[in-house]
Amino acid sequence: MTRLSVNINKVATLRNARGGNLPDVERFAADCEWMGAQGITVHPRPDERHIRRSDVYALKQIVTTELNIEGNPEPPFVELVTDIRPAQVTLVPDSHDQLTSNHGWNTVQYVDHLTRLTEVFHKHGIRVSIFVDADPQMVEYARRAGADRVELYTGPYAEMYERDPEAAIDMYRPAAEKARELGLGLNAGHDLNLKNLHPFLNAFPWVDEVSIGHALIADALYLGIEETIKQYLLCCK
């Protein structure tokens, strides 16, 4: 069974829009776990437009499943992660002004850089996942860099799924199978939703974890968060 990690960035975005502490990000994370989520994901960015550094420290004391911290591994991020020591760090090549993640690492070009980072995180007992596009070569070089897992960027999958579901699956098969061949753990995330998630996991049942935020929070506006988590968990079985 694939684990569901709920990305709570959008909850922090809503809080920050008005100031104060409504909704309460910490309480929301704890409730998601109580409702069945098997992990909590945050992606703190330098401008703190959603999750703040202070949130990450607070969540470390609250999350009882797995805390996954995503981000561009610049020095302040590395310092934050090594101080908190989450279960997992996901390395994402975001620029400062990027609205949302839209591509994976060129692991061939940055293999030395990623290797050094992986060694740092491993010294602190942190599992390392590298965010990559659905390219077997990118998966292979993530393994060479010492990653424990790769997270496949599923934005293109979600886009193509609307037009041609079978082609969308086929586009991801070589990378997913390469990860399994290399003994790499496999995560997936970005634009996964209640429509396209189950077919993806049915095709690649060895996916260890999906992290889902935007669609899940949007669904919760209609279904409520408890029912939404229940439905995503059903997709993961």
> How far is 118 from 123, CA to CA, in rounded Å?
9
Q: Which residues contact 218 (CB under 8 A, 6 or more apart)?
A: none
| 176 half-sphere exposure, CB direction, 13 A CA radius | 21
Q: Using the structure block, give the residue that is written with the tokens 């979600």.
A: 158
Residues labelled catalytic: 43, 70, 190
- Please state at what angle helix 214-223 crosses helix 9-18, rounded to 10 degrees: 70
- What is the amino acid identity at position 228? T
- Provide the 10 A C-beta neighbour count for residue 177: 15
